[in-house]
Chains A and B, each alone.
Chain A
Amino acid sequence: KAGVTQTPRYLIKTRGQQVTLSCSPISGHRSVSWYQQTPGQGLQFLFEYFSETQRNKGNFPGRFSGRQFSNSRSEMNVSTLELGDSALYLCASSRGPGQGFGAPEKLFFGSGTQLSVL
């Protein structure tokens, strides 16, 4: 079974540009979440999608957006890039929908997209 696939693996952009990152979840997984990882802030939750609907959103500005398609693939977009957006962007998938007071779902992460903003 193929794992979570993120493309591209590396990306270099300049300030003010916009970028789109792609994530293909494990087959059968319907929940996709995105995380940003930087040396200073660590791993931070961006947003989560299930059945094309955003379920949760982290504390990031509106420049960060995402969407999920009917085949569960997801994209995230960052507009008007800033130097501080340089980070490893990670996508994770799970079966979903994850609700109630049971154990949190096991997340499967991709290898990430390393974004450098110059």
Chain B
Amino acid sequence: LAKTTQPISMDSYEGQEVNITCSHNNIATNDYITWYQQFPSQGPRFIIQGYKTKVTNEVASLFIPADRKSSTLSLPRVSLSDTAVYYCLVGVNNAGNMLTFGGGTRLMVKP
């Protein structure tokens, strides 16, 4: 399984755009990149998933460069409620639901 590296923590202010970068140098050809968000005392929540280039949904955008050795989760105009831990995962379906979560990035949004 490809190992991921993320910043331990980040601070931002309400209304700003936040970009969290995840490094996955050993990503395999078939691996997808998935991001989850977790609030305290709750289970993680799926945010976005992609394989290459750019993916956008109503919550976030995911940017994946051509070499796929890193990816960036972009949260537009964050609010206080976006304060959470964000996890970057790399893998394929044949691993079933045996996901490997790293340490995640603790995002603190300040007023």
- Residues in A lying within 8 Å of B, measured CB to CB: 4, 31, 33, 35, 42-45, 48, 50, 55-56, 58, 88, 90-92, 94, 96-112, 114
Tell me, rounded to whole Å, the shortest Cβ–Cβ distance linking A97 to chain B: 7
B interface bracket (residues with beta carbon within 8 Å of A): 20 to 34
Total inter-chain residue pairs, C-beta < 8 Å: 93
Residues of A within 8 A of B89 (CB): 104
When the two chains form their complex, are residues B98 and A58 in contact, meaning their CB atoms are under 8 A apart? yes
Tell me, rounded to whole Å, the shortest Cβ–Cβ distance linking B7 to chain A: 15
Most chain B Cβ neighbours within 10 Å, of A31, A91, A94, A106: A106
**1/0 per residue B83-111: CB within 8 Å of A?**
00001010111111111111110000000
When the two chains form their complex, are residues B93 and A101 in contact, meaning their CB atoms are under 8 A apart? yes
Interface majority SS on B: helix, strand, loop or mixed?
loop
When the two chains form their complex, are residues B96 and A97 in contact, meaning their CB atoms are under 8 A apart? yes
Chain-A contact segment, one of B44-52, B58-66, B73-81: B44-52
When the two chains form their complex, are residues A109 and B51 in contact, meaning their CB atoms are under 8 A apart? no
Tell me, rounded to whole Å, the shortest Cβ–Cβ distance linking A108 to chain B: 7
When the two chains form their complex, are residues B96 and A107 in contact, meaning their CB atoms are under 8 A apart? no
